[in-house]
Structure 1
Amino acid sequence: MNEENTISLKVSADNLYVSKDRKEIYLFIDLKAKKATLQKERTPLNLSLVLDRSGSMSGDKIKYARQACKFVVENLEPDDNLSVVIYDDQVEILSASAPVKDKNALKRLIDGVTDRGSTNLSGGMLEGYNQTKKTYNTKHINRVLLLSDGLANAGITDEKVLQQIARQKNTEEHTTLSAFGIGADFNEVLMTNLAEYGSGNYYFIDSPDKIPSIFAKELQGLLSVVAQNASLKVKFPSKTLAVSKIFGYPGQVKNDEIVFDIKDVFSEEQKSVLIKFSVKEPFAEESAFETTLTYDDASTFKRILTTEKTHLKVTADKNLFDNSFNKEVLQQIILFENNERLETAMGEVDHGNYDKAKTLIIEIKTEMTVQMKRLPNNAEILVRMGGVTRRLGRWDEALALHTRAAQ
């Protein structure tokens, strides 16, 4: 771990020893940015506000969304670029991307937005990207801010395709996306994944009181860039290992390397990646992972390169192997894998498959109970376990209502 750098890099395997019968290996990577030092000039922003005005946004939702958009406008500077895109089944450019000169005019336009129609989320999102592209600048922070309940029912509605759009725009056009879920009945899985694949942040707005703090946090982060053009590469022993799953951040597998295009890193931001490898053949000798982080330091303008090697030693000593598991990595494995299962269960609920969702939740709860024996009294896992139990109770109620309605 390199504490003196703007971004610290910590790499840990779930176990530094490998046995002949080992089937899986996990590698956990944790990046932490230092607090930004005061800068005389802040980095300009190039933003697109994409506002869902569909019928499902009626009532408080559209009010919250308008308030949020006006808060963003009020906190921008003349050298920032902003566009405002609204959508229902049709996409409309309320204000094309341009420097923020007349805030009052922009706020009046936003005040005139009312709810109507169905939800072409993909069309609105794509136009937001298109607007940021028109005023794209490598020296600016380029980001789409998507405000929606995520209930897409027009245009592209396949959630995996929508996620890939966010990923593609992030990797190819270097424009990130933050998602703001609005109201209690929104598609949490889609909105969370759009932010993850778009390398942005995810927030939940359920009351107007939260708008200032949520958007202050988002804008403060955007205004406190500590590193740009960041990239992470993990070289692994491809003769013995194959990548089976990547959690936490989208990566591209290229032969014996996994590449993560991180781009901008903000003050005190933390990014975590968990990589699951399957063992193709037993280890005959010591092997190693080589993890390299590169970025441009925003305060010194220097290109920084940090490399860490994580060695795996072969052992036939079962006691040594069993007692060498890294508890921090085990915790991350439990949290990441069960979160993915929970997303699958929530997807079943979205499609009305309450029985399948309940079965998955029971499986998650059972497995977490077993896993907790390895990490007793782990606070984060106990909190997650409580959340799973509460969700199971709510879905029991939903299943009962669904069953009565069908009778």
Structure 2
Amino acid sequence: MQTLKFDGRLARAGFLAALGFALMLVVGAFAGKAKAEVDALDTAALDTKVSYDQPLIKRSESTTIHLMIEVHSPREAWPGTQDRPPVNLALVLDRSGSMEDKGKLEYAKRAAKLMVDLLDPRDRVAIVEYDDRINVLWPSAPVENAREIHRRIDGLTSRGSTNLTGGMMRGVDEVLKHFDRSELNRVVLLSDGLANQGITDPYDIAREVRGARRDGVRISSIGLGLDYDENLMQAIAENGAGNYHYVEHPSQIARIFEEELSTLVRTTARDIKLRLNGSGAITSIDVISLESDTPDNVSVGDMFAGETQRIMLKVDVAGTDAASIALGDLEMAYTDARSGKEQTTVVPLTLKTSTDAAAVKKARNEDVVVEAALFDAERTQLAAVAAYEAGDTARADGLLEELSARVETQAADMDDGRLSAKLEALTVEREQMSVAGAPAERSAYLKSSKQRLYQAKSGKRAGYQLQVGDEGLEVERLQTALTNKGFWSGPIDGKYTDDLEEAVDEFQAAEGIKQDGVAGPSTLQNLGLY
């Protein structure tokens, strides 16, 4: 965990988009309101809440607090299909020889054609295909002749090696040919292998991706199968302010493409930029939900309707005799995707103090305490996965054993289901790690575990726990798996309803799993989803 010292501005640029976005939301959260425990602001695009584990701190004493930022873009913030901004998209498809295996290329072609069909004439699309050679199969143009685009895609066959970076950057070039900041500019990269031609160094690739992002083009990455480099593909998405997807079976490609386009067209806030000027009251800040330094100025990407993010900061605050503490100023700027208007806000951040120790203790926010524990656990878990990947299985297991003991104690002390689910997840993952002997098993474990941890960086934990009220692709997969097992006959609509809870409970009874109607790690594992 990196500790960041304040000297009037934050340390250095290069931080992942998620933190900048989260801090931006702190600005929104505090604007115009001065509540100590929770500050909230409803903007045209965002509902934002900031909470503290200690909203009231002891006067005259230095202390450490956790700051949790929750942001939700309401579904109502999306203007709808007719009024959405146009899409400027490049699909970059791997056609290397390995794509012949298990019909991967055929599935990719079907998915690409589906994505074209979901666009309309106001949108632009380019199709780039690559192996060791790079070809623009369909130059960027309005989607007015889908049949011809389909015909070009159908002509793809597998061949050659993998110039991943060359194909990706050709896609960026196609988007930039008709670039318009008022539109949704995106490259979607699909690969099943390693970058073994052209630019192959991860740092050089990341530099290219950051350059595209500065130019206004977002890049999402989709890794297919067990042979691609998940660290590289995840880094591309993070540096490119896009999304990362792990596709275990080629039959899932079409649904991932559909999900990627669905979130893209529902973009509500774009080109978010943040500056934070910390006061002398803050002596250091740890970003425990992300592995990154904190910049003083960053372009942080977009947010779509229906999306929720959580970010956790650990802040050391100097003691003061004052009744309140000024933590610093935050400046945020972004473009509202509906109106195209630039939004800029500068606000102060403050905390309250008290001499009453009992009042300080009573003010403790258990919800933030639990979330902070989860974020901290995920950082340790990520270190364990890295040790396992490096071949140090003893260190990996030791880290997970120590972490499990800590989470078990926390779960008992706070009696919170989220911590119990995390403990269950750690138990399942230790088992999976211990039995993953063959290379394919190790690769599957690593990709699945990293995907869950990637999602958890912004507080999205649907990868290991689903319950009533949840929605999305993970719930669809749960419904499909239960259907295949004969426990669900309802719609595959991605909604975790009371009826689905009952079906999960029945499956748990049949499998001898604790019956609670919550699809946790053990339930998901027995369904082949973990």
- Is the shorter-chain TM-score for this pair beyond 0.5, marking a shared fold? yes
Q: Does the aligned pair in 1 maintain the 2:326–2:348 contact within 8 Å?
A: no
2:378 pairs with one of 339, 347, 352: 339
TM-score, normalised on structure 1? 0.80
Partner SS for 2:295: strand
Partner SS for 1:393: helix
Counterparts of 1:51 and 1:186, CA distance in 2: 14
Could you tell me which residue of structure 2 aligns to residue 97 of structure 1? 140
Could you tell me which residue of structure 2 aligns to residue 191 of structure 1? 233
Could you tell me which residue of structure 2 aligns to residue 129 of structure 1? 172
Counterparts of 2:255 and 2:398, CA distance in 1: 38
Could you tell me which residue of structure 2 aligns to residue 205 of structure 1? 247
Q: Does the aligned pair in 1 maintain the 2:128–2:136 contact within 8 Å?
A: yes
Could you tell me which residue of structure 2 aligns to residue 216 of structure 1? 258
Q: Does the aligned pair in 1 maintain the 2:175–2:187 contact within 8 Å?
A: yes
Could you tell me which residue of structure 1 aligns to residue 35 of structure 2? none
Q: Which runs of 5+ in 1 are unaligned?
A: 403-407
Going from structure 1 to structure 2, the CA distance change for 1:211 and 1:119 (only over 3 Å counts) comes to closer
Q: Does 1:16 align with 2:55?
A: yes
Counterparts of 1:157 and 1:362, CA distance in 2: 36
Partner SS for 1:275: strand
Q: Does the aligned pair in 2 maintain the 1:51–1:147 contact within 8 Å?
A: yes
Q: Does 1:3 align with 2:49?
A: no
Counterparts of 2:73 and 2:108, CA distance in 1: 30
Letter in 1 for 2:435: E
Could you tell me which residue of structure 1 aligns to residue 10 of structure 2? none
Partner SS for 1:253: coil
Give the superposition deviation at 1:157. Answer: 4.8
Counterparts of 1:23 and 1:55, CA distance in 2: 58
Letter in 2 for 1:50: V
Going from structure 1 to structure 2, the CA distance change for 1:248 and 1:167 (only over 3 Å counts) comes to farther
2:272 pairs with one of 224, 227, 230: 230
Letter in 2 for 1:198: G
Q: Does the aligned pair in 2 maintain the 1:225–1:266 contact within 8 Å?
A: yes
- Equivalent pairs counted in the alignment come to 395
Could you tell me which residue of structure 2 aligns to residue 362 of structure 1? 401
Q: Does 1:389 align with 2:427?
A: yes
Could you tell me which residue of structure 2 aligns to residue 31 of structure 1? 71
Q: Does the aligned pair in 1 maintain the 2:288–2:376 contact within 8 Å?
A: no
Partner SS for 2:386: helix
Q: Does 1:327 align with 2:366?
A: yes
2:303 pairs with one of 265, 274, 280: 265
Counterparts of 1:154 and 1:338, CA distance in 2: 38
Between 295-304 and 64-73, report the one with greater CA deviation. 295-304
Q: Does the aligned pair in 2 maintain the 1:252–1:260 contact within 8 Å?
A: no
Between 53-62 and 155-164, report the one with greater CA deviation. 155-164
Letter in 2 for 1:52: D
Counterparts of 2:217 and 2:439, CA distance in 1: 43
Counterparts of 2:198 and 2:408, CA distance in 1: 42
Give the superposition deviation at 1:143. Answer: 0.8
2:120 pairs with one of 55, 71, 77: 77
Q: Does the aligned pair in 2 maintain the 1:87–1:120 contact within 8 Å?
A: yes
Give the superposition deviation at 1:141. Answer: 0.5
Going from structure 1 to structure 2, the CA distance change for 1:52 and 1:354 (only over 3 Å counts) comes to farther
Partner SS for 2:279: coil
Note the aligned Cα RMSD (angstroms).
Answer: 3.6
Counterparts of 2:208 and 2:413, CA distance in 1: 39
Give the superposition deviation at 1:173. Answer: 1.2
Counterparts of 1:208 and 1:46, CA distance in 2: 25
Letter in 2 for 1:43: P
Counterparts of 1:52 and 1:138, CA distance in 2: 28
Going from structure 1 to structure 2, the CA distance change for 1:322 and 1:162 (only over 3 Å counts) comes to farther
Q: Which runs of 5+ in 2 are unaligned?
A: 1-39, 441-530
Counterparts of 1:47 and 1:69, CA distance in 2: 12
Going from structure 1 to structure 2, the CA distance change for 1:393 and 1:80 (only over 3 Å counts) comes to same
Going from structure 1 to structure 2, the CA distance change for 1:360 and 1:208 (only over 3 Å counts) comes to same
Q: Does the aligned pair in 2 maintain the 1:232–1:261 contact within 8 Å?
A: yes
Counterparts of 1:127 and 1:324, CA distance in 2: 55
Counterparts of 2:87 and 2:439, CA distance in 1: 48
- 1 or 2, which has the higher strand percentage? 1
Going from structure 1 to structure 2, the CA distance change for 1:118 and 1:361 (only over 3 Å counts) comes to farther
Going from structure 1 to structure 2, the CA distance change for 1:81 and 1:58 (only over 3 Å counts) comes to same
